[in-house]
Amino acid sequence: MDYALIPEGVKRCSFGKFVLWISAVSLLLLWGAAGALLCWIKGLNQTNMNDYFGFGIWITLDLAVIALGAGAFFTGFLRYIIGIDELKNIVNFAVIIGFICYSSALAILGLDVGQPLRGWFIFWHTNIHSMLAEVAFCITCYFCVLCIEYLPLLLENRQLKKIPSLNLFGHHLHRIVAVFAATGTFLSFFHQGSLGGMYGVLYARPFAFRDGFFIWPWTFFLFILSAIAAGPSFTILITWITQKITRKKLVKKNVIALLAKISGWLLLGYLFFKIADTIYWATVTAPARGFTFMDFYRNQPYGLWLFILEIGICGVIPAIILLTRRGRENNSWLILACFLNCTGVVINRFVFTVQTLALPVLPFDRFVTYFPSWQEWASSLAVIAYGIIVISLSYRYLPVFPQEKELNPA
Amino acid sequence: MFPFCFEWQWDAGHFLFMGSLYMVLTVVGLGLMYAGIRTFLDLKKGDH
């Protein structure tokens, strides 16, 4: 039925099967939409956020998807600015993943602000000293850049390509994609950093507060490093899932191995600075504010296990696997490493958003926990459904993987 | 007041912050304009 839209020389499942798949995933999206609508219509009382937890699952998710979506800007940077040619075989998919992550982040922020119609206030009444303002500006601009980077791929569709003006426009956009990749790198550097900086400057929250360089706390740099370390791993992970679902080989092993190696070295760099930062924070920064390291981990469920899970299991172990050739060449180990790397960055963002707020900072404060309401869960999980739908549509109708034909001869 | 910045002040912070924003918007805008103009010229030439 939709044969004319499918790229030439590749095989796709039947239209009926595809519609069934999209319909099944859409159920999750609808559930999320119901939760989101309730939050918009009735207000943020639909969530379990309160005076203690002004930041909940939405902010954790926001920070996590933005970190995981860093694969788009970093792969683009490596491909178009550094000139690593092999990455041309995966950069399209990285852009799609980035597009999904950033559009999801903006949608979730639209919920989190409670009154999205007032979202423009942050742009019009700019507080130039606010890291959050910088994040808002950079994320919005970078999302525009991602749309522009996605556009040439959309215009590669078999039918759209037949329209001369669109074909030429896509071609000329693609010719100057390096300019957009450089702009995306500039924007990503600052918003990834400022997301970390926002927590590092919270001097009334000794768990998050860090010293730093000039106006930037160390968390500024750590967030950039962790994002560029996890982003490529997330791209590999999603590529692997897509390959499993489609039962096809879509990207050659050497491309994946290269991306994994880059991810591994970046993760090693991140871990070095993260561990150094943690030691300095535990021995100098926190004691200067009257806290010992264990004060922050005395309260369950956010005990020391979370710290070991983040740095050790989801940090050191994937770094070792990704840095060894045998680890990268073994598919199971590689995917496990990518999964752990991504889980590590999600835990890191959770720790900075939720654990920071949970810990009491005054003698009369009490430790409180937070568990999201179904509306928060539904709208958060809808992001996954949205991602699946965008990837499914892109994979079916666009030439996302340049090596697909070669790897799957008819 | 300054375009797109209601509480504009003539200081380094505003120049840096808003300047970076305008620079990015200019680059993105010029990029799109370049692609648009080249498309128009190619179509006019019948080069497709």
3-state secondary structure of A11: coil
Strand partners, B5: B2
Q: Residue A362 corresponds to which tokens in the numbers above?
A: 């005054």
The domain spanning residue A109 has which CATH number?
Answer: 1.20.1630.10
**In A, residues 195-234, which contact B (CB 8 Å cutoff)?**
none
Predicted confidence (pLDDT) per residue in A201-248, tens digit = 998 899 999 988 888 899 999 999 999 999 999 999 999 999 999 999
Query: Is residue A98 one of the residues assigned to a domain?
Result: yes
Please report the residues numbered 103 through 162 in chain A whose beta carbons come closer than 8 angstroms to any beta carbon of chain B. 123-126, 128-129, 133-134, 137, 141, 144-145, 148
Domain assignment present for A409: no
B24-40 per-position pLDDT tens digit: 999 999 999 999 999 99
DSSP character at residue A118: G
Smallest CA–CA distance, residue B45 to chain A, in Å, is: 12
Cα separation, A142 vs A183, in Å, equals: 8
| Rounded Cα gap, residues A116 and A326, in angstroms | 49
pLDDT at B1: 47
Contacts with B32 from chain A: Cβ below 8 Å: 148, 173
Instruction: Indicate whether A265 belongs to any domain.
Output: yes
Task: Name every chain B residue with its beta carbon within 8 A of the beta carbon of A168.
Answer: 38-39, 42-43, 48
Distance CA A195, CA A23 (A): 35
E strand intervals along A295-377: none
CB contact under 8 A, B35 and A172: yes
Task: Judge whether residue B14 has pLDDT over 90.
Answer: no
**In this predicted model, what pLDDT tens digit does every residue of A168-211 receive, in sequence order?**
999 999 999 999 999 999 999 988 999 999 999 998 899 999 98
pLDDT per residue as tens digits for the range A143-166:
999 999 999 999 999 999 899 999
Q: What is the pLDDT of residues A363-379, one digit of tens each?
A: 787 777 789 999 999 99
Distance from CA of B2 to the nearest CA of A (A): 10
| Chain A residues closer than 8 Å to B1 by CB | none
Measured between CA atoms, the residue of chain B closest to residue A172 is: B35
Three-state DSSP class for residue A182: helix
Cα separation, A97 vs A74, whole angstroms = 12
Q: Is residue A410 part of a domain?
A: no
Q: Does A247 touch chain B (CB under 8 A)?
A: no
Contacts of A128 in chain B (CB under 8 A): 13-14, 16-18
- CA distances from residue A323 to A109, A243, A317 in whole angstroms, order as listed: 36, 23, 10
Q: Is residue A249 one of the residues assigned to a domain?
A: yes
Total of domains in chain A: 1
Question: What is the full DSSP assignment across A12-52?
Answer: ---HHHHHHHHHHHHHHHHHHHHHHHHHHHH-GGGSS--SS
Domain around A156: 3-403
Shortest CA distance from B35: residue in chain A: A172
Q: Does A221 fall in a domain?
A: yes
A408 domain-assigned? no
Find the CB nearest A144 among B5, B28, B38. B28
- Which H or E run includes A212? strand A212-213
∠A122-A128-A129 over CA atoms, to 5°?
115
Chain A closest-CA separation from residue B15 CA (Å)? 10
Residue A380 located in a structural domain: yes
| Residue B22 sits at the chain A interface (C-beta within 8 Å) | no
